Structure formats: C-alpha cells, structure tokens
Amino acid sequence: MIVGIDLGTTNSLIAYFDGNEAKVIPNRLGKNLTPSVVSVDEEGIVYVGESARERKATHPDQTADVFKRSMGTARKFTLGERDFTAEELSSLVLKALKEDAEEYLGEEVSEAVISVPAYFNDAQRKATKKAGEMAGFVVERIVSEPTAAAIAYGLDKRSEENKFLVFDLGGGTFDVSILEQYQNIMEVRAVAGDNFLGGEDFTEVLEQMFYREKDINPDELDAKTKAHIHRQAEETKLAFADAKESTMSCKVNDEVLEYTISLDAFEKSCQILLSKIKKPIERSIKDAHIKLADIDEIILVGGATKLSIVRRFVGRLFGRLPNTGINPDEVVAVGAATQAAMKERNEAVREMILTDVCPFTLGTDIVVTGGSGYKESGHYLPIIERNSVIPISHTERLYTAGDNQSRICVKILQGESRYARNNVYLGEIEVPVPIGPAGQEAVDVTYTYDVNSILEVEVKVISTKLSKRVVIKNEETDMTDEEIDERLASLAELKIHPRDQEANKLLLLRGDRMYEEATGDVRQLIERYMTEFEAVLSKQNKDDIERAREELKEFLDSIEGDMS
C-alpha cells in the first residue's frame, strides 16, 4: 500500500486512500496529529510525538523539535550523549507514523508520497527523501505541499478553468503557490516562500512580549524554564482562537508570573511577521504574470492559518474570504494520499496531469567582461529560471575566459543572487580543453531538471566532443555561522572602494534586488547595465562614476514600474 505523509515542522500525519476517499490514520493515541518532536532518555529509548513533547518540559536537553527547518544541513542536534541530523530525527517521526499505519490497517506499508514545502531547495528535498528511506519507506515521489492541498480540495474535479492561490503557513515554513486548473491538467504557475516563517515565530513573539513585560533576560534562564515559557506561549496563542484576551502563567525561579495579553496587542506585535508574508505573495503573482483580480479562489493551508490574526490579515490583503473547507492541519496529508492513489491508478481517482515548477533558479558562475578589457569573475549565469515548468532542459554555451586555459570548471549553483558566491553550491564538473587564446574553446552546458527534483548536468567540449555528466546528489549546505563571520571579518579589512560609497552602494543594492526579482530578458539587461557600472567603478574616476551612476539610475527607474 502507498500512503501519503505530511512531514511537518510542528506536527506530522499520515493518510491513505480507502478506495473512495483519502482518510487520515490516527496514531496509537487515537489522534490524527503526531507532534514532530523526538526525545532520547539515558537508556537510549526514543520517544516520538506527544510523549517526546511532554519530556521536553522536564528534559529539554534530551529533546529536539522544529528540526524540519534544518533539513539538508549539517547541523547536529545533541540529545543527551547522542548527536542526530535533522533527517535522522525526521526518520524517527516517519518510522512512528509507519508503525501506526501498519497497526491501523493490519498490513505492511512499504511506499510513501511525502510532501515538502514548495520552496524547499534541492538539498532539503533530498534530505526528506533520505529520511523516508531511513524509516523503511520506498519514496517514489516528493510532492509540494500546495499542490497536495489543491488536490485535496478536489480542484481536479472541476470542469471550468480556474486559478487558485494556495496560502500555506505551517509551523515553520511559509509557501504561496499559484495553480491553474483546466480539464484534467493542474499546472503550478509560480511558487515563492520563506523557509523560516511560520507558527513558531508567532509563538516567539508572545515569548518576547512576556520577557519584556516581566523584565526578564532569557539568557539568564535555564533550558527547562525556557521550554516551560515556550509551551505557555504556545497555549496562549492557541487560546486566541476563542477569545480576544489570553493570559500566560509561567513559573520562573519558583515564582508564578501572569501576563494578560489582548488580541489587538498581539496583532500589533506581529506586524513585522505579517509584513514578511506579503513579499512571497507579490513575487508569485509577478512570476505567474497575472493580477490579483485573476485569482478565483484562495485556499488556506497549515495550522498557523487557524490564527485569527492571520485569517484577518489574509482577508484584508485579498479583499475576500479564503476557502477553509478542509481542516488546514490535514489537507496536505489528504492530498498526498490522493496523489498516492493516482500513482496506483485507483479507479476512484480521475486521471490527472500535474505540472510543477522549479522553485529556484539553477545556473553557474561566469566571468563577465566590459569595455577596456574589464573582467570580473564570480558572476551568476541563470540556466534554468525559477518557476520554469518542469521537466525542463536548457543549454548555454560558455567560452574560455583566459589565454592558455587548459580546463573549464562548471560550478552548479542554485539561487537568485547575481553573485555566484551568494548562491547555494550543489556540485561541479571539470573538463580539459585544448590550450589556446581566450574565447577559442567552448563547452555546451546542459541542465535537465525533472518532477522528482533531480538535476542532471552535462558539459560537452565542442572541439574534442568530450562530455561529462553528473546527477546532483550533493547535500552540502550554505556556510556555517563561523564561516560567514570569518568571511565578513576578511572583507572588513579591505580598503574603501568607490563601490562602497553610499550612493554607489545603494544603487548596486537596488540593482541586485531588482535582478533577483526579475526573470528572462529583463534580468539579463539588468546584469549588463550593472556590469558596465562596475567596470566604471573599477577605474575610480569621479566624473565617469557620477555620469555612469546617473545612467544606471535612469535605467532602473524606467523598468521598475514595468516590473511591479
């Protein structure tokens, strides 16, 4: 049997298709939601779910939660004397779900469709798949959470054409996806999101309000007390569902401290979080090349959308009531189970074609040239643009950048920055080329990305026909905090350069931001103007810099209106 799983930041759940409809499988406690919490005691016994969450109050140093945010990274979680990665902890949650499902169904459950946030990158998706395999599942498909939610709402059964915006705010991540359905085809038009925005952040706001009100420095508290305050803040947040006022009661240093908070005060303190929600929405609408008025329906997904301040915010933002017809906690698991039924070609599920998009731009680093022999390495060349419909394959021809160059190294990158160093490194391919003058030798670089988030890269030398290919399985991550600090320290020692003068710096930052927001020809046009400006900066001639700055500003002004 194939099941559908929603592996969540706060809670996880598993569902199956019973022949007519998808149903959530209750866990061993009879509850549909299993907290994504793991604890390990002194004897090595593992606790998962409710029991682990309870142990956090008394054994915070032996308990881990919110580890989904660290999927695909090298971060270690120390539980007692044992270290775990995020995927290892996730595999323990998945194993518990598997055991509950097998007990409930009375048969072996061997295969699963697991959902991930639409904005998860390549490493995060592979880490999720790895966690499923470690738990004993065959993971044939990773499905984006908004797509699963759309399936659960039965959008595939509608006969007319419709456009939908899925607003998915879970415990730790935020996704917004725009989908279009026509006949038996459901197409993802665009995705955007924030992997560090969710219900946990709203809980954190209440914690900070409590600390400020009671003049407490959290750094002076022990782990057990902080875990207690966090739990009380979570309960206070949930209490706002039925009341306009809620009270936190926390025991700190043997003293019970109470703090009564109004819903209005809570909402006011959450304005920064609410404003962060707007940007992914604006980006997805822009990338989908539609207007807000073109959206036929807005669907709320994720437990955090049950917060009244979030629902009120969404209503004001879109000027209409969203669809909440299915429990937002369960809709993704139900959709994943329906996707599993499609994979099994269940007769009760109408055959449907699903198209998805690549959530991040994929590219490589290049050397850019300008007038008077200006050259600068480390620039980013997009090869597959974000929100391109997948599967997709695209080829770019690259040339040697220097005289007597004997090798070409193609670094495989993922991200939106115009500088290669700011994007995520996935791997690289190096090929030998005949020695000659710059620009004489060339390679064709082909990126192919499929529906299972597998990236294949091929580099072919034009003159010798030599080719190398690699399927990206790398799970390396962004730099550690220590590495970032070291790099910033080294940059701080550099002398002041004209690009760091305020007016120039502001214009470069504006150009970088617009480059990341743009796609296609506009993005390449911005890159050309920015490169020309940087070439002038390198000459350090004041008059030339002022003239070039004004030209770049006029250009950015002229296109920004069209981009918005």
Sign of CA dihedral 368, 370, 372, 374: negative
Note the pLDDT tens digit of each residue in 293-333: 889 889 999 889 999 899 999 989 888 888 877 789 999 99
pLDDT value at residue 224? 87
Residue with structure tokens 């419909």?
A: 389
Tokens of residue 133, six digits: 């395999």
pLDDT value at residue 494? 28
Question: DSSP letters of 390-419?
Answer: ESEEEEEEEE--STT--EEEEEEEESS-SB
- CA terminus-to-terminus distance, the chain: 47
Helix, strand, or coil (residue 328): coil
Alpha-carbon distance of 97 to 13, in angstroms, equals: 7
pLDDT value at residue 54? 83
Sign of CA dihedral 304, 307, 309, 310: positive
Low-confidence ranges of the chain (pLDDT < 50): 473-480, 484, 487-499
Sign of CA dihedral 102, 107, 109, 113: negative
8 Å CB contact between 150 and 299: yes
Strands 138-144 and 111-116: what pairing?
Answer: parallel
Look up the pTM and report it.
0.73
Helix, strand, or coil (residue 471): strand
| Beta strand residue intervals within 26-107, DSSP E | 34-35, 37-40, 46-48, 63-65, 77-79, 82-84
The 10 Å CB-count burial string (b at 16+, else e) for 153-170 is: bebbebeeeebbbbbbbb
pLDDT value at residue 349? 64
Alpha-carbon distance of 267 to 187, in angstroms, equals: 35
The backbone region for 345, taken as left when phi is positive above 0, alpha when psi lies in -120 to 50, beta otherwise, is left
Helices (H), ranges, 193-270: 199-213, 223-239, 263-269
8 Å CB contact between 299 and 153: yes
Residue with structure tokens 């909402």?
A: 267
pLDDT value at residue 526? 92
